[in-house]
Structure 1
Amino acid sequence: MNQQTVERGALGVLSLYEGFFSGGARVLHSTVVAGLHAQGRQRHAVLSIHDEVRRESTLQRMVDDRRFRELRAAGVRITSLGRSTERDHDPERFTEAELTTAARQVAAAQVVLSLKEQPLRLLDQPGMPQRPVVACLHRSDPEHQGTGLAHLLTAAHSGRLAAVVCCATSTRDAYQAAGVPAHLLRVVPNGVDLTRFRPVTGPRRLALRGAYGLPADATVVTYAARYDAMKSPELFVAAARHLLGRDARAHVVMCGAGMTTENPLLRGDLEEAFGDRPDLLARVHPLGVRHDMERILAASDVVALTSTFGEAAPLCLIEGAMCGAVPVTTPVGDGARIIDGIGLVTTFDPAQIADAWAEAAARREELGRALVAARPRFSHVRMLSAYASVVERARRGAGLTVAAV
């Protein structure tokens, strides 16, 4: 769809991004923006503070990002302040030119969405037009978000904050405990495009495995995460060492920013775990940032999450499950609730994590029926409807109550 198909008089909505880089929150929010824009009743635009960001040992440029390209293809206007983490910027201060650009974009909107709380610092600058703000939160650790929480509370206490969309009950509970008024908090569970994330036929699955260099009879565990302390990649690697050491048919796939041997931190993890067994490394596949996750997950038996804090509603678990991979998670955020009946919850012990992966792979056919039955509750259609309602109510200035989950 292009911009001309948006209805005349459509509600103007501006999303603030810290930048375009790899991560589930940006995938989710971009799906929301593109989906609501395509419906025609809202006219969406995006303002990104950075146009390139170095994260997880990788310089990620806005114009190279899949979300950027998809939003542009959907007719969503994208503007950037042009910042780069390669240059020295005070994150709390903006130049006159940056403020002029931002003010123009905010003034053109009727509602502002903030992807996480950090971009709210831009709205706190002098002279910024006042618009109702909806903060969209995707973690459960407000204490680890730098000055973001302070800006969120400022927006709440000033009356500028119209609503807070929480992707999980754990997010809602954490931010309510941190001081965000309960009446602003609304839980909207994550969803995915079921036409993209779906199981494939047996022959197609075998063909995908061949394309990725994975044996037809392998037990394949896929880890889809950026290299970040929250994700505990060293725990995943330690668990992989247990699995590969006892199952000669097992392979592990690592996808996400920093999940390459060019990352010295990941190299260190692999050397520590496999230093005495370099032969096992042939069955470790660090693939980095991928744009074909639906195919990798469809070729997998298990999708794994080993995070130790901060998670809310991990998108990788939903995407993997919808592709037929059994989700296995540590007990973080809403992970256990999300995979109830379709996956396994494990401890933070590497050996026990490896045991859970092996059990999940062995039960894949049994759990596959439950995965298929669960598909409707993970559709992004419901999610889009809920976001649309929050945005429209923010514009009308109606109060919000906490949604039942």
Structure 2
Amino acid sequence: MAEQTTDRGALRVLSLYEGFFSGGARVLHSSVVAGLHGQGRQRHAVLSIHDDVRREGARQRMVDDPRYRQLTAAGVRVTSLGRSTEVPHDPEAVSDAEAEVLARALGDTDVVLSLKEQPLRLLSRRDLLPDRPVVACLHRSDPQNQGSGLGHLLRAADDGRLAAVVCCAESTRAAYEAAGVPAHLLRVIPNGVDLTRFRPVPAARRLALRGAHRLPADGVVVTYAARYDAMKNPGLFLAAARELLGRDAGAHVVLCGAGMSPANPDLGADLVLAFADRPDLLARVHLLGVRHDMERVLAASDVVALTSAFGEAAPLCLIEGAMCGAVPVTTPVGDSARIVDGIGLVTGFDPAEIAAAWLEAAARRDALTAALVTARPRFSHVRMLSAYAATVERAHRGLGLTLARG
């Protein structure tokens, strides 16, 4: 593991993860942790509850995860309680052995960050957290669908342990305020991305990327970057893809994310359902699974699509796609309409309407280029890192947080 030099008096921050697996929240939070650690004013560490998890039909081990490698390469210490979803375990219980590991980690900590609300259950034993401020970082807009997580969040607020609740979107703030989280704790820090990584590429490079993925040089390419989950509504995406491919003989669709591969039988069943009458169209459906080069896939695309039904807050796929020059087209969930305002399109939940919007977006891609370029500064991760750093420092000093929006 590479060692990152930090100031001797750096603020010590511990992030609690449920585990390491594919998902926008972990991508975002790990980017924040690595970025703040690298600045030297804060010394970050991560403690994961699980060492490996099974999600989207695949076992995902911590040490194999790109976020784990990103963090350790940045000099962030990453440890685990060693749990596995392969072994039954009461999620609400903390064993004495786990409590020892947690106590050691907390003993070297000034501020605790919780990636989503679920890891707050680790802090149910009051003896483990003497006078450590906690900042919960939330990335969804459906608190009622977060299992026992909302209860742990509300108890932490009632106990006075929460110094702040970071919301990545206005929809998150509104949903959790309605669920009972005190308004003065809620602070909106919009998501940002590394603009040096997510950017358009020259025309020749774009053609080469298309060739590498067996995509046409001049056909419409729509990319869907999402894990296989009911929240993401993959059935709706495939129904819209069926409409698109039936209308445009040169169009192709690309699916990326956990579970978006031929190894997922549920996705296979969805494909059969969507294309039963036109199996010939499947030749233009590309299942790429989990990708670690999304900037290349998105730079080769005309449209980045989101068809989610609920739960979204500030989807990274829309931001990353737009910054690479793909026009974002989304259903009206979370802050998605706010994100694509002026640079993309919002649709309803009808497959034919969505397919038509994809074609319109592709046709307008060149015309929207200037707007996409102008929008880049508001999606910069530099702004986001600055806001997170200030929130952590305020939590440590015990200052009241000023409610920030946008």
TM-score (norm 2): 0.99
Tell me the residue number matched to 1:185. 186
Residue pair 2:28, 2:191 contacting (<8 A) in 1 also: yes
Tell me the residue number matched to 2:241. 240
Q: Using a 3 Å threshold, how does the CA distance of structure 1 residues 4 and 359 change in structure 2: closer, same or farther?
A: closer
Tell me the residue number matched to 1:50. 50
Structure 1 residues 169-192: Cα deviation after superposition (integer angstroms, max 9, x where no partner): 000000000000000000000000
Tell me the residue number matched to 1:39. 39
Counterpart CA distance in 2 for 1:377 and 1:155 is: 32
Letter in 2 for 1:184: L
RMSD: 0.9
Tell me the residue number matched to 1:374. 375
Counterpart CA distance in 1 for 2:68 and 2:125 is: 26
User: How many residues in Structure 1 have an aligned counterpart in Structure 2?
Assistant: 405
Letter in 2 for 1:33: V
Tell me the residue number matched to 2:394. 393
Letter in 2 for 1:77: R
Counterpart CA distance in 1 for 2:281 and 2:170 is: 40
Letter in 1 for 2:53: V
Unaligned stretches of 5+ residues in structure 2: none
Letter in 1 for 2:355: A
Counterpart CA distance in 2 for 1:162 and 1:379 is: 26
Deviation of the 1:2 alpha carbon: 4.6
Residue pair 1:135, 1:164 contacting (<8 A) in 2 also: yes
SS in 2 for 1:5: coil
Unaligned stretches of 5+ residues in structure 1: none
Asked if residue 20 in structure 1 is aligned to residue 24 in structure 2, the reply is no
Counterpart CA distance in 2 for 1:129 and 1:64 is: 30
Q: Using a 3 Å threshold, how does the CA distance of structure 1 residues 68 and 351 change in structure 2: closer, same or farther?
A: same
Counterpart CA distance in 2 for 1:261 and 1:353 is: 24
SS in 1 for 2:401: coil
Structure 1 residues 262-321: Cα deviation after superposition (integer angstroms, max 9, x where no partner): 111100110001111111000000111000100000000000000010000000000000
Structure 1 residues 2-61: Cα deviation after superposition (integer angstroms, max 9, x where no partner): 535111110000000000000000000000000000000000000000011111111111
Tell me the residue number matched to 1:142. 143
Letter in 1 for 2:337: A
Asked if residue 284 in structure 1 is aligned to residue 247 in structure 2, the reply is no
Tell me the residue number matched to 1:332. 333
Structure 1 residues 319-349: Cα deviation after superposition (integer angstroms, max 9, x where no partner): 0000000000000000000110000000011
Structure 1 residues 54-110: Cα deviation after superposition (integer angstroms, max 9, x where no partner): 111111111111010010000000000111111101100122111110111112100
Tell me the residue number matched to 1:314. 315
Identity of aligned residues (%): 77
Q: How does 1:359-370 map to 2 (within 5 A)?
A: 359-370=360-371
Deviation of the 1:401 alpha carbon: 2.5
Tell me the residue number matched to 2:342. 341
Counterpart CA distance in 1 for 2:216 and 2:14 is: 46
Deviates more, 1:39-48 or 1:393-402: 393-402
Q: How does 1:61-140 map to 2 (within 5 A)?
A: 61-130=61-130, 131-140=132-141
TM-score (norm 1): 0.99
Residue pair 1:328, 1:356 contacting (<8 A) in 2 also: yes
Q: How does 1:164-313 map to 2 (within 5 A)?
A: 164-313=165-314
SS in 2 for 1:53: strand
Structure 1 residues 329-374: Cα deviation after superposition (integer angstroms, max 9, x where no partner): 0000000001100000000111101011000000000011100111
Counterpart CA distance in 2 for 1:331 and 1:402 is: 25
Residue pair 1:166, 1:188 contacting (<8 A) in 2 also: yes
SS in 2 for 1:127: helix
Letter in 2 for 1:277: R
Counterpart CA distance in 1 for 2:312 and 2:405 is: 20
Residue pair 1:182, 1:401 contacting (<8 A) in 2 also: no
Letter in 2 for 1:264: P
Counterpart CA distance in 2 for 1:163 and 1:126 is: 19
Counterpart CA distance in 2 for 1:90 and 1:111 is: 27
Runs of 4+ in 1 over 6 A off after TM superposition: none
Counterpart CA distance in 2 for 1:216 and 1:319 is: 22
Q: Using a 3 Å threshold, how does the CA distance of structure 1 residues 47 and 134 change in structure 2: closer, same or farther?
A: same
Counterpart CA distance in 2 for 1:401 and 1:373 is: 29
